[in-house]
Chains A and B, each alone.
Chain A
Amino acid sequence: MANSMLKLKTVSEGVAAAAPVATASVVPLARKPPPLSARLLPVAQKIAAATVPPLIIAALFLLVWEMACWSPTSSLPPPSRVWSEAKDLIVDPFFVAGTQDIGLGWRVLTSLQRVAIGFGLAAVVGVAVGTVVGQSVWAMRGFDPLFQVLRTVPPLAWLPISLAAFRDASPSAIFVIFVTSIWPILINTAVGIRNIPQDYRNVARVLRLNHLEFFVKIMVPSAAPYIFTGLRIGIGLAWLAIVAAEMLTGGVGIGFFIWDAWNSSRLPDIVVALAYIGGVGFLLDRLVAGAAVLVTRGTASN
């Protein structure tokens, strides 16, 4: 090693010696920076290219909606009426004007809390059980049909059963989220574990990694892309389930808000709530996708 380092060193010295030696003093020439507008132009173009098309489409959408619901006898509110009647909900998500009169931001946070508990449990249990099932061919064969059947049961179909089991609305809603989002997590984890390349297993065997080391150093990173695919599907399903579950169980969440607004014929409020739900669902999906990129950096390719 010392040898090769020495060699490297002499080579670099040789290069340095061969380089021409400057004899004249260098006169610095002031390089004119391009004008500010010229530098900002490409950036502005990029931003415009990304934002203008969605803005145009959104404007067109609002226009068509406004025209379709323009007549005073229309059963659905046009955007102008949504703005005039539900302005307080749109401009301030976090107002508190009474126990049941609170901003949509608070309601979304309440729902998110339920999702966090239900989805968190589903993630922990799903990854743990998926890991165990993925290890064994027999467990996979035995459990897979069960998982595939339970996976297709719609979230709301679980509600009566969970209400009967828990006798309370809040844990029932959490259970519905749990039982809806666990299957894709579990199945994807099991497939990810089964697909660990034999090469990685051989490396672990030559190094004599014990079970814990194999789990932490080989299994989890190798299955991470699969696990995150499951988590991403799972968070989407969890958000689908919470709104439906809250409509039936009541409480403070965004789902119950929609049901409440429907019962008191506040259609503009429902429209605003829908926009909130869509926005939050989108953010949740981005959040998990972002975490996946961070964690599985470099894992996908060989």
Chain B
Amino acid sequence: MNPYLKIDHVGISFSRAGATTEVLRDVTLKIQQGEYVSIIGHSGCGKSTLLNIVAGLLRASTGGVLLEEHEVDEPGPDRAVVFQNHSLLPWLTVYENVALAVDKVFGGKRSRAERREWIMENLALVNMAHAKDKRPAEISGGMKQRVGIARALAMEPKILLLDEPFGALDALTRAHLQDQVMEIHARLNNTMIMITHDVDEAVLLSDRIVMMTNGPAATIGEVLTVALARPRRRLELVDNHEYNRCRAAVLEFLYARNRFVEAA
């Protein structure tokens, strides 16, 4: 069976002031439809760069990305991105932010009423329907990120790309949002790629965890399959053998074999 998304021998180098830095080398990964894959690694290892290549915001220097056998060479709504800092437009209300995406993607295909209903449905999915007329400045960080997720989901993407979606949130809000994302994944069965640097988050949410080696010229060091049944509940997992095995494996990879070296 052909993979849904295929990252094929991707490498990327940046040139700046005559010096060339190779950030990624020979990254190959196959992802099936409905899979939840986390990419974990130390900061600066090129996780976000890899996600941006899949999104089409950056172009790979070598290799390429295939989504359903089609090459990815530009950004598009079929690969919706949830940005780390939510990236909501501050002059639009919550509703208008989602509407901007929905009107652009479904403008010619669905009636005004259908689009309106679809926007509200997605806001309800992340429990933000009550704040539809608020502006981003008037809601909390966790709420902004939820709207960002609603905006991405509303595009009906083939694949959802989450770039450290919970990185800027406090621990309690983060746990709450992780549960919500798991619920959405269970209900809609979307394919998701999430960048994270949180080991617990990666184990809790993912089907597979992709561990990146340190840069420069970072690549995939190891791929770990998390064989935990869904739905997963964080309280029950505390003394689950498989959970702790995966956690230990990731920690071992990150802190014993690929210790973070402060770049000079």
In the complex, number of A-B residue pairs with CB atoms less than 8 Å apart: 68
B118-143 toward A: CB 8 Å interface, digit per residue (1/0)?
00010011010000000111000000
- B75:A206 contact, CB within 8 angstroms: yes
CA distance A302 to B135 in the complex (A): 9
Q: In this assembly, does A4 line the interface, its C-beta being within 8 Å of a C-beta of chain B?
A: yes
- B91:A206 contact, CB within 8 angstroms: no
B32-55 contacts to A, CB under 8 A, are: 55
- A301:B101 contact, CB within 8 angstroms: no
- A298:B105 contact, CB within 8 angstroms: no
Among residues of B, the one whose C-beta sits closest to the C-beta of A225 is B91
- A4:B87 contact, CB within 8 angstroms: no
- B89:A206 contact, CB within 8 angstroms: no
Q: Which of A4, A199, A208, A222 contacts B75 (CB 8 A)?
A: A208
A161-203 toward B: CB 8 Å interface, digit per residue (1/0)?
0000000000000000000000000000000000000011011
CA distance A237 to B104 in the complex (A): 41
Taking chain A's interface residues, is the majority helix, strand, or loop, or is none over half, making it mixed? helix
How many A residues touch B, CB cutoff 8 Å? 25
Contact A203/B104 with A1-B124, A208-B76, A302-B136 known, Cβ cut-off 8 Å: no
A273-302 contacts to B, CB under 8 A, are: 296-302
CA distance A296 to B105 in the complex (A): 27
List chain B positions with a Cβ less than 8 A from chain A. 55-57, 74-77, 79-81, 83, 85, 87, 89-91, 100-101, 104-105, 121, 124-125, 127, 135-137, 155
19 interchain pairs (CB within 8 A)?
Answer: A1-B125, A4-B124, A4-B127, A199-B87, A200-B87, A200-B89, A202-B81, A203-B83, A203-B87, A207-B101, A207-B105, A208-B104, A217-B89, A217-B100, A298-B90, A298-B135, A298-B137, A299-B90, A301-B90
Shortest beta-carbon contacts, A-B, top 3? A199-B87, A205-B75, A298-B135
List chain A positions with a Cβ less than 8 A from chain B. 1, 4-5, 199-200, 202-203, 205-209, 213, 217-218, 221-222, 224, 296-302
